[in-house]
Each structure stands twice: as structure tokens, then as C-alpha cells.
Amino acid sequence: MPGTDERPTSMSTTGSEDASSDAESSSDRCNSITSVSDTSDCSRQSFTSDCSSSKHSSPSSSPPKTITLDDVMSSARDLSNLTLAHEIIVNRDFHVEQPHLPQNSLEKQVKDIVHKAFWDSLESELNDDPPEYEHAIKLLEEIREILLSFLSPGANRLRTQILEVLDMDLIRQQADKEAVDIQGLASYIVTIMGKLCAPVRDDEVKKLCESPDNVVSMFKEIFRVLDLMKMDMVNFTIQSLRPDLQRQSVEYERAKFQSIVEKTPSALDHTTEWIKSSLEEVLFSMPTVEQPNGHGKAGKALPSPLLVFNSGFIRLLTWDYHKSPLPETLMTDEVRLRELQRRLQLLKAMASVLLIVYSAIGGPISGLPALAERLKRMTSVLLEGMHSPDFNLSEALGNISGQICCELNKSLTERNYPALPPELQVTLKGQITSITQENNPIRSLVEGRVQQYFRVLLATPNSHVNPPPTPGGLALIQPELTSMAVTFVSLVNFNKQVYSPFYMMILKTLLFSNAASPPAATAPQDPSIQNPVNSN
């Protein structure tokens, strides 16, 4: 039996003899990724330059080709790998959990029936006279492979011992002579599990030691705990891979997406439409300029790529997912973008309510942070779930206005101010409930200033370090808005670092579609590109 000192302190699954071999990798994985701003990368590139680049620094162009089933399946695998890697990189809380089937689902019923049939068969074989060991040997072989998979490459002594004790050829010979000690082998397996499991599984393994003498029940529990240990191993591996993935994330994600583009000619269709709409929006707002030397008619100046791309990213804040799919380059962040949009909509509604209240009451409630926090919390709670289809926003705003008036009257009377007149309370209620109208001036004001704030952050270098102050009228939601904006900017900057060559290629094609084919965009030759911003 191996000694207890072989047990690891984490799910690294090595004995004491292996601790030194694993420790060497921990020191060079302690470097966290550095936040950088990428706002100037696109603007430094010329539309007509033809710069050289490394292998994966720019997307390659190729003529359309027939798509085969193998191409589709390969692209699906690339997308799956890209999505998983991106999630590991940007979501530090990402982990794998044991799947749980719904209690009354067909899948669970089938699974339970199959498992019961297997364990009943095993019990029947072991109770035969003489006993049969066919199913038991298959279980032991599977358990041996699982235990070996937990070991690090340097755990040679423990690996050798497991192979000796769970020698399947020897066990089969013992089975032929009816001399297999199933109970003893099960106890040995539990002992090894105790040495290999993460500390969080200690109690589970101790319960296995206290299991009844029924071998079948014991094997059931062994497999249940082994499943938990496999999840622990997967999550430990994810944590170990994260620093390496973060260091190589830009090149890795770009290469994976380039592979998808090469196999799927339509892989950038939605991205092209997104950039085209942003370009049209920017061109529409730009002033007309005279041509150089007075030749030709007046026309629009070429917009900055940074301005076009930032305008596109700002549109994501109000994106209608029911009408338009996201650009392909943003699919890996769809969940984060949807959640950010929901939180931002709630925050804008809360800002509109507070702006109405403080504009109407003024001095008597100004300079009272505790009151402001109570009003914010009250409004936020009553607006929770406002994105649900069956949520009645008008009714909720009516309730909010009533609660706010009660809170204001309480605060005013405590400080010897007169309570709000009934007619003012009616006016407040009407103004608050009217923000459901799309053309409501307060709603439009808040929406415009929020977008203005996000635009400023996107265009400001290092805005994630020193965010600029919020525009007037949004001071009461500044902490929440700043936190949300910094998260969004970090997500955008990382996306730019990965996909800016594709964006530049599309933009050049749109601007010079009537001219000769423009050269392929090249990636910014900036050392900071290897230190992407974590969008969490």
C-alpha cells in the first residue's frame, strides 16, 4: 500500500514523489494578464498600405469553393474549440459541473433503467454459485483506467503499484479459480481514491470506507465519487491551462477563426453587414469636404477605422437580437453582451426615474447619499425582471412612484420639510410612468448620455484604468455605470485585438469596392497584443 504522504494537496493527483516535478510549472504561470487599451490599433493602419505580417496576423483571401460535409463538421469543431478557449480566457469563474438531468425527463428515465439493469446483472453474477466475474472485471478495468488518468506523468511509483494490484490478467486467472477478492480490491481502490482526490472530496471518500459489505452498492458509490473526481480534474486542468491560453489568446483565437473562414465562405456575412451599417451611419454624420486642389465635386472624407468600429460596438448596447444575428466575430461573447444589455437597460430606467425625482424636488433631497441609495435600491428591486415578456413595466413604474413618494415624505418630514403636495405626487407618477414611451425626453436624454459616455471610454486610451467622469444627470448611477462601461470596453478591446485584421479587410473592401482589390489588412505590430484585456 502506498503511504499517506503521496496524497497531493490539490487535484494535481501526484504523490509526494511528484510534487517537485509539478511545482516547476507553477512559478511561470503566476503572471496574470495585463490590461491594455487597443483603441489606437485600428487608427494606425492605412487603408492602402500593404504591410507584411506573421502567419496568423492577417486573414487570407481565397476564391469561393464548394463546401463539403467534412468542411462543415471541421468548422463546427473549430467553433466549439474557439468558444471553449474564449470562455476559459475571459471568464475566470468558468468551470465544468456534473450534468443533472431533469427528474421526470425521458433521458433520466432511460439512464436509470439502463443503470439498474447493469447493477442488477452484476449482483446476480456475484451471487451465482459459482460466482461469475465478467461484469466485475470490466468494472475493475474501467476503474483502473480512470485512476491512471488522474496521475501526472511523473507519478511512476503509484502508477506501477496500481497496475500491479489491478493486473487484469492476474485477476482473470483468479476468477477462473474463484479466488478473486472483490471486497479487498474495492477497499484498495477507495484507498487510492483518498490519495488522489482533491480535499473537497475527503468526506465523500470517507463515506466509501464506511459503506456496507454489499459489493455492488460499494461499486455504485465508487463510480459516483469517481465522476466527481473527473469533474475536479477537468476544472483543475482548466485552471492550469488558463495562464497559457491568456498569453497566446490573440493568436490562438485568430488562427481558429481564420480556419473557420477558410472552410466557410459565408463566415463573415453578418460581420460585413454590421460594419457596413456602421460605416453608413458614420458617413451620414460626417461633413462634406472639398476635394484637394479644387478638382471634382465636394464629397465625404474617409472616416477613421476606429470611429467606424467604435460606432459598431456602441450599437451592440441596443442590439435587437430578434431582428438581426450578432456578427460572427462576437458570437463567443453573446451571453456576456446580452447580460450587459439587460443590466444597462435596467440602469437607464433607474437613472431616468431618479433624474425625474431630483429635478422635481431639488434642494430638499440633494446631498443625501443615504436617501439616494435607498431610492436606487428600491427602484432596482421593483424593476428586476423588466426584460421578461410578461413584465408590466407601466405597472411597475406606477408602484415605484408610489414607493418613492412615501420614502420622500418620510425623509422630508424627518428634516422638518413639508410633505409633497398631492398634485406634485400625481405629476411625479405621470412623469415616471411616461418613460415607457420611446420619444420620452428624459428617456432620450439618459440614452444619449449613456452612449456618449461609452463612446468616450472606447476612444480614450487606458480608460479602464482612469475612467472619465460620467456626463451630467448620471451622477447618481456613476459607480454602476462605470463598472459596466469598463467591462464593456475590456471586452471590445480584446475583440479588436483578435479580429481587427478581419474588420480592416472588410472596411477596405466596402470603401474601395469600385477600385482594384485592396490589400489584405495586417495585424497591429504592437507587443501589447500579447497581453489581451480580460473582459471579466
Q: What is the mean pLDDT of residues 214-229?
A: 84
How far apart CA 208 and CA 194 sit, in angstroms, is 10
pLDDT in tens, 263-310: 887 888 999 999 999 998 888 887 766 655 555 555 667 788 999 999
How far apart CA 271 and CA 502 sit, in angstroms, is 9
pLDDT in tens, 1-23: 333 334 443 343 334 334 333 33
Q: Are 65 and 279 in contact (CB under 8 A)?
A: no
Q: Are 487 and 466 in contact (CB under 8 A)?
A: no
pLDDT at 526 over 50: no
> Residue 471 has what DSSP assignment?
P
pLDDT in tens, 378-416: 898 888 888 888 888 888 898 998 889 998 989 888 888
Q: Are residues 222 and 338 in the same domain?
A: no
What is the amino acid identity at position 299? G
Domain count of the chain?
Answer: 2
Query: What domain range includes position 200?
Result: 106-239
Where does a domain end: 239, 259, 294? 239
Nearest CA to 470 out of 459, 454, 458 is that of: 454
Evaluate whether residue 66 is within a structural domain.
Answer: no
How far apart CA 149 and CA 151 sit, in angstroms, is 6
What pLDDT is stored for residue 109 in this prediction? 74
Evaluate whether residue 45 is within a structural domain.
Answer: no
Evaluate whether residue 121 is within a structural domain.
Answer: yes
What pLDDT is stored for residue 172 in this prediction? 87
* N- to C-terminal Cα separation, the chain: 46
Evaluate whether residue 467 is within a structural domain.
Answer: yes
How does the average pLDDT of the chain come out, rounded?
Answer: 75
Q: What is the mean pLDDT of residues 417-424?
A: 88
Q: Are 19 and 13 in contact (CB under 8 A)?
A: no
- Of the pLDDT bands very low, low, confident and very high (cuts 50, 70, 90), residue 96 is low
Cβ neighbour number for residue 284 with a 10 Å cutoff: 8
How far apart CA 270 and CA 319 sit, in angstroms, is 13
Q: Are residues 333 and 443 in the same domain?
A: yes
pLDDT at 117 over 60: yes
Evaluate whether residue 112 is within a structural domain.
Answer: yes
Where does a domain end: 220, 239, 258? 239
Q: Which residues contact 270 (CB under 8 A, 6 or more apart)?
A: 324, 325, 326, 327, 328
In terms of C-beta distances under 8 Å and separation of at least 24 residues, what long-range contacts does 141-150 make, across chains too?
Answer: 141/166, 141/168, 143/189, 143/222, 143/223, 143/226, 144/168, 146/226, 146/230, 147/189, 147/192, 147/193, 147/196, 149/233, 150/13, 150/196, 150/229, 150/233
Evaluate whether residue 371 is within a structural domain.
Answer: yes
Q: Is pLDDT larger for residue 289 or for residue 425? A: 425
Least confident of 42-56, 448-462, 465-479: 42-56
Q: Give the DSSP H/E element, type plus range, for residue 239.
A: helix 215-263
Where does a domain end: 239, 256, 274? 239
pLDDT in tens, 132-186: 878 888 888 888 999 998 888 888 899 999 999 889 889 888 888 878 888 888 8
Nearest CA to 40 out of 524, 519, 488 is that of: 524
Evaluate whether residue 173 is within a structural domain.
Answer: yes
What is the amino acid identity at position 516? A
Please give the radius of gyration of the chain, using alpha carbons only, rounded to the nearest integer: 31
Q: Are residues 339 and 487 in the same domain?
A: yes
Q: Are residues 462 and 344 in the same domain?
A: yes
Evaluate whether residue 336 is within a structural domain.
Answer: yes
Q: If you write DSSP's letter for every residue of 289-339 in order, what string do you get?
A: EPPGGG-S--EEPPPPHHHHHHHHHHHGGG--TTTSPPPGGGGGGHHHHHH
Q: Are residues 220 and 365 in the same domain?
A: no
What pLDDT is stored for residue 40 in this prediction? 38
Separation in Å, CA 457 to CA 279, 307, 468, 487:
20, 13, 7, 11
Q: Are residues 336 and 189 in the same domain?
A: no
Q: Are residues 359 and 488 in the same domain?
A: yes
Q: Are residues 365 and 495 in the same domain?
A: yes
Share of the chain above pLDDT 70, in %: 71
